[in-house]
Amino acid sequence: MSEEKFYFQTEAAELLKMMINSVYSNRDIFLRELISNASDALDKRRIESLKNTELAENLKPEIKITADKDKKILTVSDNGIGMDHDDLINYLGTIAKSGTKEFLQAAKSGENPQNLIGQFGVGFYSVFMVADKVEVTSRKLGSDETYIFTSDGSGSYTIATTETRPECGTDVKLFLREVSDDNKNYADEWVIKGIVNKYSDFISWPVIFGDNVINSQKAIWQKPESEIKDDDYKEFYKHLTHDWRDPLMHIRINAEGSTNFKGLLFIPSVAPFDLFMNPESGGISLYINRVFIMNDCKYLIPDYMRFIRGVIDSEDLSLNISREILQEEPIIKVIRRSTQRKIFNELKKLLENDREKYIKFWTIFGKIFKEGFINDREHAKNIAEISIFRSTHDDGWTTLEEYKSRMKPDQKGIYCLAGRDDLAALKASPKLELFAQKGFEVLLMTDPVDEVILNQANFILNPDEIKLLNIAQNDITPNTDDEIKNIDEQLKNIEPEFKNLKGLVLKILGEKLEDVKPSLSLVNSLACLREPKNAMSLQMENILRMAGQDVPVQKRILELNVSHPVIKKLMELAKNNNDNENLNDIISIIYDQALILEGARIDDPAEFVKRLNNLMEKVL
By the criterion CB under 6 A, which residues form the site for ligand ADP? 33, 37-38, 41, 78, 80-83, 91-92, 97, 123-124, 170, 242
Shortest approach of ligand ADP to residue 170 CB, angstroms?
A: 4
What is residue 137's three-state secondary structure? Answer: strand
Q: Which residues pair with 396 in a beta bridge?
A: none
Query: Would you list the DSSP string of 340-367?
Result: HHHHHHHHHHHHHH-HHHHHHHHHHHHH
Integer Cα distance of 380 and 394 in angstroms: 26
| Nearer CB in complex with ligand ADP: 106/612 | 106
Of residues 80 and 282, the one with the C-beta less far from ligand ADP? 80
Q: Considering the complex, what minimum distance in angstroms separates the CB of residue 253 from ligand ADP?
A: 27
Q: Supply φ then ψ for residue 436, to 5 degrees.
A: -65, -45
In contact, 195 and 30? CB cutoff 8 Å: no
Residue number, 6 or 91, with CB nearest to ligand ADP: 91
HSE-up (13 A, CA, CB side) for residue 355: 6
Q: Which is nearer to ligand ADP, 35 or 418 (CB)?
A: 35
> What are the φ/ψ torsions at residue 471 (nearest 5 degrees)?
-75, -5
Query: By C-beta, is 82 or 113 nearer to ligand ADP?
Result: 82
Please tell me the distance from the alpha carbon of residue 93 to that of residue 86, in angstroms, as a whole number.
10
The one-letter amino acid at 158: T
- CB 513, CB 558: distance < 8 Å: yes
Nearest CA-CA partner of 470 in 430, 447, 443 = 443
Nearer to ligand ADP, 80 or 310 (CB): 80
Q: Considering beta carbons, is residue 43 or 451 the nearer one to ligand ADP?
A: 43
Residue 240 C-beta: closest distance to ligand ADP, Å: 12
The residue (of 37 and 151) whose beta carbon lies closer to ligand ADP is 37
Burial class of 492 by CB neighbour count within 10 A (0 to 12, 13 to 18, 19+):
exposed
Least distance to ligand ADP from the beta carbon of 99, Å? 7
Nearer to ligand ADP, 125 or 373 (CB): 125
Q: How many CA atoms lie within 13 A of 571 on its CB side?
A: 19
What is the smallest separation between the CB atom of 183 and ligand ADP, expressed in angstroms? Answer: 26
Q: How far is the CB of 391 from ligand ADP (least distance, A)?
A: 41
How far is Cα 586 from Cα 615, in angstroms, rounded to an integer? Answer: 8
Would you say 91 or 344 has its CB closer to ligand ADP? 91
For residue 540, the minimal CB distance to ligand ADP (Å) is: 38
Question: What is 209-256 written as a DSSP string?
Answer: ETTEE-S----GGGS-GGG--HHHHHHHHHHHH---SPPSEEEEEEE-
83 versus 368: smaller Cβ distance to ligand ADP: 83
Q: Are 400 and 445 in contact (CB under 8 A)?
A: no
In the complex, minimum distance from the CB of residue 88 to ligand ADP, in angstroms, rounded to a whole number: 8
Q: How far is the CB of 250 from ligand ADP (least distance, A)?
A: 21
Tell me the closest approach of the beta carbon of residue 204 to ligand ADP, in angstroms.
15
Residue least distant from ligand ADP (Cβ): 123
CA-CA-CA-CA torsion for 484, 490, 495, 501, nearest 10 degrees?
-100
CB of 101 to ligand ADP, least distance (A): 12
Q: How far is the CB of 295 from ligand ADP (least distance, A)?
A: 12
CB nearer to ligand ADP: give 86 or 421.
Answer: 86
Residues 6+ apart with CB under 8 A from 183: none
Q: What φ, ψ does residue 404 adopt, rounded to 5°?
A: -60, -35
* CB neighbour class for 283 (10 Å; exposed up to 12, middle 13-18, buried from 19): buried
Q: Which of 366, 217, 335 is nearest to 265 (CA)?
A: 335
Amino acid at 373: F
